[in-house]
Structure 1
Amino acid sequence: MSTAQARLGVDIGGTFTDVVLESPQGRVSTKVLTTYAAPEDAIVEGMHRVCDKAGLRPADIAQVIHGTTLATNALIERRGARTALITTEGFRDVIEMRSESRFEQYDLNLVLPEPLLPRNRRYVLRERVEAKGRVLIPLERAEIEALAEELGEAGYDSIAVGLLHSYVNPAHERMIREVLAEKLPGVSVSLSSEVSPQMREYERFNTTIANAYIKPLMESYLRRLRERLAQEGADCPVLLMHSGGGIISLESAAEFPVRLVESGPAGGAVFAADLAAKHGLDRVLSFDMGGTTAKICLIRNHAPKTARVFEVARSYRFKKGSGMPISIPVIDMVEIGAGGGSLAHVDVMNRIQVRPESAGSEPGPACYGRGGERPAVTDADLVLGRLDPARFAGGSITLHPERSEAALAAHLGDQLEMGTTEAAWGVAEVVDENMANAARVHAVENGEDLSTYTMIAFGGAAPLHAARLCEKLGIDRLLVPVGAGVGSAIGFLRAPFSFEANRSEFMRLSDFDPVAVAALFAEMEEEARAFVHSC
């Protein structure tokens, strides 16, 4: 066979790492428990498993396409690098003032989400550029050097630079980077004029801060991944899935890791869109439920719905405006903490609740036998007979029903005076209603009637809950495809190379300047060509 045609798709989730190998001989896949301390370990283990199944060597792999939730999780859990923001004097509090809109008008106790960086990590420089790019207050190099010394003493690992109207004239931001590179050579720098060159400073600053916050983490991980794969024999190009549904080079991903936010779920949407096209389905509800989260996406005419801004870590259930806005091209979907590892408990009103907190892969649900004692959705599914204990995850994990029963009894059944089967049914019903409610809200926000849609269910847990979800949503057609358990990883192998360059230019039509617009397009074309050459 032509070894250049063997491709590996890898999706790192909160619980499982899914690995798919496609070659002219066919497709093989496996699931490996995600290794949090070193995610590349699970990838290497999965790669060897699928190569053994296919009778290939790692050296026969010509391309690795990778998607991950690591970037998203770092933002949600706030475990990124020690980061600072440099901005224009007078605009230090833009990310805290937000847009001043109340995402829940009638909540008198509304609490706005905390900004990613506290005020003492936000620094200012005296400079000003107007909306048309003219410099009103020049930036003094000596002032940057003094600030660089202060930042160095504070021990920052990464610095975000977001100046007013830098999307029109980035000269001051570039000067800051030049000085920081000279004074603080080991510190990572992200410029808003490169990360998100668009008007609206709140979204632009937030996106740049998010990029800086996760950049050292993702650079380190991607470097280790490439080196480890090469050591194992897979010395081939490594490409990354981005949030918009395409793939980019590892170098682009390391420089702009914010584009990897939601890269894993984006692969699932691409997988569902590909199936919709093959089956001639014009209206599809993509339902992806894994071990940690559930993702719901609307697909019309074989293309997922897209958006210009995505919100990470919404603090108020399903409410737009309650999260951290990231201004990047993204597949529009709703994501909730409802997966196989989501933990159940009894609240103060004696109701069964399934919280976003997940057992993950360490220790995992009680039935994994890895030390977990609290009941998860997977435990409920096992007690209800929806899972074969001997064939879970392709037979790689043996489940223990007795441990599921013990956990359900100890944490739910005994307190509510019900049997384990009834408690398991309660857990399944609650998590199904949570997901149905999220789908209803998403449909209403987009003006869609879900009864006209076909559901495509994939991910390790989605097929187990899809039928009940269809009942709740009034959907009468359900498709569970071959390879559903590793759908996102298959989606990576269907994704095209893509890159989106954008700019903002404020101009009245009566003052239209064709020369300025032509220069803008030329700059965008140069950026897009550079991306193509890097692939």
Structure 2
Amino acid sequence: MRHLKAGRLAADIGGTFTDVAVECGPRRVTAKVLTTPSEPEKGVIHGILEVLKNAGLSPADVEVFVHGTTLATNALIERKGATTALVTTEGFRDVIEIGRESRFDQYDINLVKPQPLVPRSLRVTVPERVAVDGSVVMPLDLRGLEGHVQAFRAANVTSIAVGFLHSYVNPSHEELVGKRLRELMPDAYVSLSSRICPEVREYERLMTTCANAYVQPLIAGYLQRLRAELDRIGLSASMVLMTSGGGLTTLQNACELPIRLVESGPAGGAILASHVGTTSGESSLLSFDMGGTTAKICIIDNSEPLKSRSFEVARSKRFMKGSGMPIRIPVIEMVEIGAGGGSIARVDTLGRIQVGPDSATSEPGPACYGRGGANATVTDADLVLGKIDPLHFAGGSIKLHADASRNAIASHVSAVSGSEIEMGAFGICEVVEENMANASRVHAIERGKDVRARTMVAFGGAAPLHAARLAEKLGIKRVIVPRSAGVGSAVGFLRAPLSYEVVRSLFVKIKKLDVDAANRQFDEMIAEAASVVCAAKPDAPLEIRRSVFLRYSGQGHEIDVPLPDRPLTASDQDSITEAFTQAYQALYRRTISQADIEALSWAVTVIAIEDRSAETIPFAGADGEASPLRQSRLFDGRLGRFFDSPVYWRDAIGVSQSIEGPAVIAEDETSTVVTSSFVASIDSSGSIILEAKH
């Protein structure tokens, strides 16, 4: 008898856990396994085989596999990428080191700027020059390139970035150098800035191109090994990758532009939060994703996560703009801090508890895992405070050792600060929750938003443990914990559209808009984006979204303004001007009527239109009211003391049942802590709803 296809399978590699989810008809089955950092594909395959076995499926039953990973992010943060060289325009060798010629902390006399990914010895130049309008000022001279290649070979260079001045408007010189490099070093990876980031601002463009080159051998090699492993186990379904902008792309595109995979896991979580908000009738949300290594906060308006064209990776100072490396790609805008379940706690020289950003990860993991970890972590504190059900942690696959947690906190926190073990654990949780609250406030204020009027959507293995207390600190009155929250990003992958975004710079004043030139560029961009989407789904109808980045003449930053989903006409000048004026007024509460409006870059997103109606997993709900599984000695942060609190099993709670905090709601991938400020219930979609009592 022929097997029915299972639909979509997803896997998300985190710093501590690899999460896997499969949806087959009306069912969703999930698994959570420890990440295998040295060979991450092994953890993915382990999780896939486990989840398929539990679902009663074989690898051949899968139609499509959606994957996201933090490997690119970790390689940049940990500086574990390839030996990379840079070829650039003569006279511009040090652009990536000079940066913006500013100090990110002008009062720090000991400030040390982050080292560039490419050392100066591997940054070389060639004679060439293209003007801002694309005309050739100095022809390209390739005669010295062979000498540079000899130096690259001697330094064991495996990846080369090529970035010339104004190549975004005329890429011919980069393409010639790229062709020659591939002839001279056929085994090396070559990244062209005109392909990776065809936009103005040479510092950001070169940094993005260098970052792509730096991670490309690692990511391309990993993805190819994973594809081979999938074929080995009989999973021949097409493989698509989650991008940082919230869409899905092909394996080939991901291998060519792996920088687009940075922040792919968190992007999946934001997609899940948007879907949950739509299902629950909530359009103004604060997405809270906390895993084993980091916590991510994202603002969602009108059921759409805020988007950005740039962000920073590997900041040397938390929340300090300019202290990291700028990456210019389409990205869902969020703030990320080193505050996960595995974040390590310590006491500083002033006697203050500090948490993160370093993490115990999966090897050796928190002390309670019993895998050799000796440091006190957030997970250890949660266990001591009664927030975690040790019998069902990670579906019962990991046995937790409470004594090891107590010993770690006693040694690294309580003995140094002079507090009791329980107070040390409470201090760890309070610090990490205040760090997250502060990050949320700063992120919202910078964008003119108010978090207090929003509904929080909490997911990730650790977020439901801390969501209620975080909501108390932020003044949020309603929290949603969706089904399968512990593997939220993987579930979000299953809701992501197959789409691709292309951005290119074309400078023009709107009052002198050449609509023919703009439309020609749009046609080229649509063709490029559609080729990626159609490679993954050839017959899907396409939706095309266009926008333009506008500013007043003389300003340094732009605003993204949507355009009609059709070719531009001369009559669109007035509507574009009006749309920019309204957007500028909403953002800055003023306009500059006498200033010209100019366009710097243009964007196209091509989306495959798919029938997603079958992707809603029905929820029947339990009958009657659940009885507690047992009692837990749970510490309530607001009241500052322990309570004998009931522990409920999530799937047993009836849809009409109310559970007053303090209480714990346990499930396979996580636990939801209901503090004394909240009452919990299950809604019609199966989500846990926490409502403030007052």
Deviation, structure 1 residue 390: 1.4
- Please name the residue that 1:519 is paired with: 520
Matched, 1:252 2:253: yes
**Hey, what does 2:607 align to over in structure 1?**
none
> How many residues get paired?
535
Q: In the alignment, does 2:294 pair up with 1:288?
A: no
* One-letter code aligned to 1:385: G
Deviates more, 1:70-79 or 1:112-121: 112-121
Offset of residue 312 of structure 1: 0.4
Q: Which residue of 1 aligns with 2:435?
A: 434
C-alpha deviation, 1:505, in angstroms: 1.6
Q: List per-residue Cα deviations over 1:260-283 (Å, max 9, x = no partner).
A: 000000000000010011111121
Q: CA distance change for structure 1 residues 49 and 171 in 2, over 3 Å: closer, same or farther?
A: same
Deviation at 1:532, TM superposition (A): 2.2
- The separation in 2 between residues aligned to 1:141 and 1:205, in whole angstroms, is 20
Higher share of residues assigned helix = 1
- CA distance in 2 between partners of 1:279 and 1:472 (Å): 24
In 1, Cα distance between equivalents of 2:434 and 2:372: 29
Q: Is the 8 A contact 1:315 1:323 kept in 2?
A: yes
Paired position in structure 2 for 1:17: 18
CA distance in structure 2 between the partners assigned to 1:407 and 1:502 by the alignment: 50
Mapping for residues 61-140 of structure 1, pairs under 5 Å: 61-140=62-141
* Distance (Å, rounded) in 2 between the aligned partners of 1:430 and 1:525: 47
Alignment correspondent of 1:371: 372
Distance 2:6 2:501 in 1: 27
Q: Is the 8 A contact 1:75 1:214 kept in 2?
A: yes
| 1:95 CA drift (Å) | 1.0
How far 1:100 sits from its partner (Å)? 2.3
Contact 1:131 1:506 in 2 (8 A): no
Rounded to whole Å, the distance in 1 between the matches of 2:176 and 2:399 is 58
Does structure 2 conserve the Cα–Cα contact (< 8 Å) formed by 1:145 and 1:179? no
- What is the CA distance between 1:513 and its match in structure 2? 4.2
Q: Which residue of 1 aligns with 2:389?
A: 388
8 Å contact from structure 1 (residues 368, 397) kept in 2: yes
Supply the AA of the counterpart residue of 2:456: M
1:330-369 to 2 correspondence within 5 Å? 330-369=331-370
Deviates most, 149-158 or 434-443: 149-158
Counterpart for residue 529 of structure 1: 530
Partner of 2:202: 201
Q: Secondary structure at the match of 1:318?
A: coil
Task: Establish whether residue 466 from structure 1 lines up as the match of residue 467 from structure 2.
Answer: yes
Listed one character per residue, the Cα deviations across residues 27-77 of structure 1 (whole Å, up to 9, x for unaligned) are 000100000111111111111111111111111111110001000000011
Match for residue 225 of structure 1?
226
- Structure-2-length-normalised TM-score: 0.76
Contact 1:405–1:420 (Cα < 8 Å) also in 2:
yes
Q: Distance in 2 between matches of 1:219 and 1:5?
A: 27
Unaligned runs of 5+ in 2: 537-694
Q: Which moved more, 1:192-201 or 1:514-523?
A: 514-523
CA distance in 2, matches of 1:154, 1:101: 31
Q: Does 1:490 align with 2:467?
A: no
Output one character per residue of 1:63-109: Cα deviation in whole Å (capped at 9) or x when no partner. 11000100000001111000000000111111111112343344444
Give the superposition deviation at 1:353. Answer: 1.2
Distance 2:35 2:416 in 1: 33
| Equivalent position amino acid for 2:415 in 1 | D
Alpha-carbon offset, residue 527 of structure 1: 0.7
Question: Who is 2:156 aligned against?
Answer: 155
Deviations 1:348-368 (A, max 9, x none): 111211121100100000000
Q: In the alignment, is the contact (CA less than 8 A) between 2:168 and 2:199 conserved in 1? A: yes
Counterpart residue number, 1:413: 414
Aligned to 1:328: 329
Give the Å deviation of 1:440: 1.0
Report which stretch shifted further, 261-270 or 145-154: 145-154
The answer as to 2:539 corresponding to 1:505 is no
State the shift of 1:2 in Å. Answer: 6.3
* Contact 2:132–2:166 (8 Å) recurs in 1: yes
SS at match of 1:321: coil
Match of 1:183 in 2: 184
In structure 1, what is the Cα distance between the partners aligned to 2:515 and 2:456? 47
Which residue is 1:26 aligned to? 27
> Which structure has the higher relative contact order (CA within 8 Å, separation 6+)?
1
What letter matches 2:73 in structure 1?
T
Q: 1:370, CA displacement in angstroms? A: 0.4
How many angstroms does 1:140 deviate by? Answer: 1.9
The secondary structure found in structure 2 opposite 1:51 is helix
**Matched residues in 2 for 1:150 and 1:102: separation?**
33
1:514 Cα deviation from its structure 2 partner: 4.5
Query: In the alignment, residue 282 of structure 1 is paired with which amino acid?
Result: S
CA contact (8 A) 2:84 2:117 kept: no
2-side partners of 1:397 and 1:444: how far apart?
Answer: 40
What is the alpha-carbon distance in structure 2 between the residues aligned to residue 449 and residue 169 of structure 1? Answer: 44
Q: Distance in 2 between matches of 1:474 and 1:25?
A: 37
| Aligned equivalent of 1:239 | 240
- Tell me the amino acid that sits aligned with residue 126 of structure 2: L
Q: How does 1:439-458 map to 2 (within 5 A)?
A: 439-458=440-459
Which residue is 1:297 aligned to?
298
Offset of 1:469 from its aligned partner? 0.5
Q: Spell out, residue by residue over 1:162-196, the C-alpha distance to the aligned partner (whole angstroms, 9 max, x if none).
A: 00000111111010011111111111000000000
Structure 1 stretches lacking a partner, 5+ long: none
1:454-483 Cα shifts (integer Å, max 9, x gaps): 111110001111111111111111111111
CA drift of 1:410 comes to: 1.5
Q: Distance in 1 between matches of 2:273 and 2:402?
A: 32
Show the counterpart of 2:168: 167
Once residues 470 and 363 of structure 2 are traced to their aligned partners in structure 1, the CA distance between those partners, rounded to angstroms, is 28
- 1:53 maps to what in 2? 54
Give distance in 2, aligned partners of 1:12 and 1:507: 42
Q: Distance in 2 between matches of 1:371 and 1:62?
A: 40
The aligned amino acid for 1:527 is E
The TM-score with structure 1 as length reference comes to: 0.98
User: Using the alignment, how far apart are the partners of 1:491 and 1:405 within structure 2?
Assistant: 35
- Greater CA radius of gyration, 1 or 2? 2
Cα distance, 1:148 vs. partner?
A: 2.6
In structure 2, what is the Cα distance between the partners aligned to 1:17 and 1:197?
Answer: 34
Q: Distance in 1 between matches of 2:294 and 2:379?
A: 13
* Separation in structure 2 between the aligned mates of residue 87 and residue 515 of structure 1, nearest angstrom: 32
Q: Give the whole-Å Cα distance in 2 for the aligned partners of 1:150 and 1:417.
A: 57
Aligned-partner Cα distance in 1 for 2:130–2:153: 27
- Matching residue of 1:215: 216
The answer to whether the Cα contact below 8 Å between 1:149 and 1:183 also exists between their aligned partners in 2 is no
